[in-house]
A and B are shown apart, each in its own frame.
Chain A
Amino acid sequence: MKLGEYEVGSFFDEMFAENGRPRAVARPLARNIESLPPGEMENRQSAADRALIQAGITFNVYGESAGIEKTLPFDLVPRIVSATEWDRIERGLKQRIQALNLFIDDLYHDQKIIKDKAVPEEIVTTSKGFRRQCVGLKPPRGIWCHITGTDLVRHSDGQVYVLEDNLRCPSGVSYVLENRRLMKSLFPEVFAASHIRPVSNYPIRLRDMLEYLAPEEVGSPRVVLLTPGIFNSAYFEHSFLAQQMGIELVEGSDLVVSDGIVWMRTTKGFERVDVIYRRIDDDFLDPRSFREDSVLGVPGLMEVYQSGNVALANAPGTGVADDKVVYAYVPRIIKYYLDEEIILPNVPTYICAESGDLSYVLEHLGDLVVKAANESGGYGMLIGPHSREEERREFASRIKANPRNYIAQPTLSLSRVPTLVDGHLEGRHVDLRPYILYGKEIFVLPGGLTRVALKKGSLVVNSSQGGGSKDTWVLAENPLTNAAEADHILNGAATQVAGVPT
């Protein structure tokens, strides 16, 4: 397949520095794609699509009666990240998680950051994610956000920005692992030449982290993954992670609280549970503490958690740190707790509650994206460049009436990656969600979920709106380490790699 006709356009392209000139990190891949006979890329693409359907790697679509499962479209041109760039992303994410964890702990205890006026009190009083039930809580090992998926984007200025923190139950990591497995079978030659860091040890790291949370006196802790059940949109991932970690996948009705202990119902009676990786929202965890109408959770679970007889990951209440206003304060939160400058910048955010920002926002409504703090899913949002005069006037008066409820950001142009469309490559916009585990130490999985907006020109990467995914290759620093081979070994495949002396 010829790459000469590929158009970089006016965007930052992750694979090409300019038309016809691949970036250094992408040269082995570009060479390989060029060497493929016509039609071969499409053959490999359809092999990948078939493999996904056969393996049932699917997500559920709510409200569709005929065939409730869909596969997440997969594109076989990967996003490649250099070792140097990844090093900065990794340091930035570790810094961010460490600070956010201290922030959450502080909010549920002394609220020093509010007393010191580094962030305004409204942050707590207006947050939908704040859980009164967690005030004074001491989670095992002092960790609240054990598993985080942070959304990153690259703007046309070449800078990587943090767009959003997902501190509750981030999903998608199963696609990272399965996409990699597919890519290794589709492009083995490129793996041998590119020194790509492996991702397949994620389930091992995840289980180690979860076991680290178990009550001290427990010798070999029992860890389970709590799923809302087979109809949840991320059910495949729950089942996949449980299988890869070798732990039980449980539903709320499999668990029962008695004598201050969580038990699971087995064919041989009741067995104690020590750590729960829960993929159920706070609201549904325990009908006695949160929503009374929840049938997904376990009555009495919170009480056992508070007494320290079971660990939950993530801790309840972490949602307080992933709302839009808190996001705007993260640079200050990092400064306050760590006395460091932020490594991985936020998208510049104007906080309307602050008078300097407010006047800037009102003057530049036509260039900005304005978001209401307590609304999501695109409601209460003004996209300046696409708005009409009367909409801007209406928003201006709403902002003036309640400035605390609004933030504003410049409109970003996301970077692009070549994507196979009708037999040739075209640029499509992407974001990146790396996964971070916080246990004994903070671990950032080298890679992540690259989501791609498959519709031409679209910036929406969500799977519900025509989004797909790509493999993400993080290159190893040391070219002598053969990462593809290491990946094989971790997968337990004891096959000899041709041409590698042993």
Chain B
Amino acid sequence: MLSRVADSIYWMSRYVERAENVARFIDVNLNLMLDSPSGEDQQWQPVVNITGDHVEFAKRYQTSTQYNVIHFLTFDRDNPNSIISCLRAARENARSVREVISSEMWLQLNSYYLMVNSACTSGKIVESPHDFFNEVKLASHLFMGLTDATMTHGEGWHFCRLGRKLERADKTSRILDVKYFILLRSVADVGTPFDEVQWAAVLRSASAFEMYRKRHGRISPKAIVEFLLIDPEFPRAIRFCLNAARDSLHAISGTPIGTFRKPPEKLLGQLCSDLAYANVDDITQEGLHEYLDRLQTNMNQVSAGIYEAFFARRMPESRRPGKERTQVQE
């Protein structure tokens, strides 16, 4: 597969996942605000913090009101991580690889983009925000379902999955990181109804509430961290995502799992092993924030390593004539 094409597929997939996660953050917070006791401050700043774009936000918006935050994260074309910007980038990437992905994927991504684009101007978001963000989530899910059902599970599909899982792991880690103070506070302040609502919201932003209840029953901060960080079976848990990313990375390179030839294989393998043997008590002792910070740095390095190994433009080394048709391994 062409390096440029692999790069576009990987980013197409990441941007669709990112758009969905932004919609999740906003939707959960909208619900949370409806449950807030009167007099409680409208908490919209943390939503901006989750996306990591608070500096950009502060430059152009005075206050973190609901309107400002939703506008910034959804329709602001100058914010590269707003839903509309993500979809535009995903669509541009898809447009440059239309001959590689399935027509169904392209059709879905194109109508997804057109839907959000028309919502930008129609004011629908103001009338029924919940419907809108729900549609965004569903459109992303439909795209991923079509990816799995209509695209050959070959190299291109693995780049899709690699991008999606790394993006999702990153977003789940941000949810945990930003909400950790709520979780910590609750250790000393267990059982107030408001805390339970907050914890439930953390789970809901990862569509994890029901699955969590099946697994752990009672809502406790420690179990929530365990569920979102190291559960091996929940599809938005960081460990689950990184395991899937590792499988795709090795499917692409052909290196057996458990061994490595390229730097990102080594680093991702180490991360997966670390999570496999982690326990929440050790992590909270080190400090959840510190742990997540390190994890995010490492995931960024995996991304950079993937770029170096597969997408970066190089020149071939000169070879003797006669060996022209053999592939050149880097």
Contact = CB atoms under 8 A, between A and B. Distances in A.
A270 B318 contact: no
Interface in B99-125: 99-100, 103, 106-107, 110-111, 114
A267 B110 contact: no
A74 B4 CA distance: 33
Interface string B1-35: 11111100000000000000000000000000000
B315 A268 contact: no
B37 interface: no
Given A243-B99, A248-B2, A269 B327 contact: yes
A159 to B, nearest CB: 41
A254 B321 contact: no
Nearest to A243: B99
A266 B5 CA distance: 9
A254 B2 contact: yes
Interface residues of A, number: 33
A282 B285 CA distance: 67
A266 B2 contact: yes
A161 interface: no
Given A251-B4, A265-B3, A269-B330, A243 B98 contact: yes
A414 B314 CA distance: 54
A234 to B, nearest CB: 13
B4 A265 contact: yes
Contacts of B314: 265
A265 B313 CA distance: 7
A258 B315 CA distance: 9
A235 B99 CA distance: 11
A55 B107 contact: yes
A260 to B, nearest CB: 8
A205 to B, nearest CB: 18
A242 B97 CA distance: 10
B195 interface: no
Contact of A230 (B92, B107, B327): B92
Given A54-B110, A267-B252, A230 B95 contact: yes
Contacts of B106: 55-56
Contacts of A184: none
B327 A264 contact: no
A259 B328 CA distance: 13
Interface in B287-315: 310-311, 313-315
Contacts of B92: 230
A214 B110 CA distance: 37
B81 to A, nearest CB: 22
Contact of B329 (A229, A230, A240, A268): A268
B103 to A, nearest CB: 8
Tier of interface size on chain B = 35 or more
A249 B5 CA distance: 9
Contacts of B5: 248-249
Contact of B313 (A236, A243, A253): A253
Contact of A272 (B110, B111, B324, B329): B324
A425 interface: no
A254 B95 contact: no
Nearest to B323: A259
B325 interface: yes
A53 B114 CA distance: 10
Nearest to B159: A267
B133 to A, nearest CB: 23
B99 A259 contact: no
A250 interface: yes
Given A239-B99, A253-B313, A269 B2 contact: no
Contacts of B103: 55
A264 B324 contact: no
Interface string A426-470: 000000000000000000000000000000000000000000000
Contacts of A269: 327-330
A349 B103 CA distance: 47
A409 to B, nearest CB: 41
A55 B313 CA distance: 32
23 contacts: A229-B96, A236-B98, A242-B99, A243-B99, A243-B100, A248-B2, A248-B5, A249-B5, A250-B2, A254-B4, A258-B315, A263-B316, A264-B2, A265-B314, A266-B2, A267-B2, A267-B6, A267-B155, A267-B311, A268-B329, A269-B330, A270-B327, A270-B328
Interface of A: 53-56, 229-230, 235-236, 239-240, 242-243, 248-251, 253-254, 256, 258-261, 263-272
Interface of B: 1-6, 92, 95-96, 98-100, 103, 106-107, 110-111, 114, 155, 252, 310-311, 313-316, 318-319, 321, 324-325, 327-330
Given A249-B5, A265-B313, A269-B329, 6 more contacts: A54-B110, A236-B98, A240-B99, A253-B4, A259-B319, A265-B2
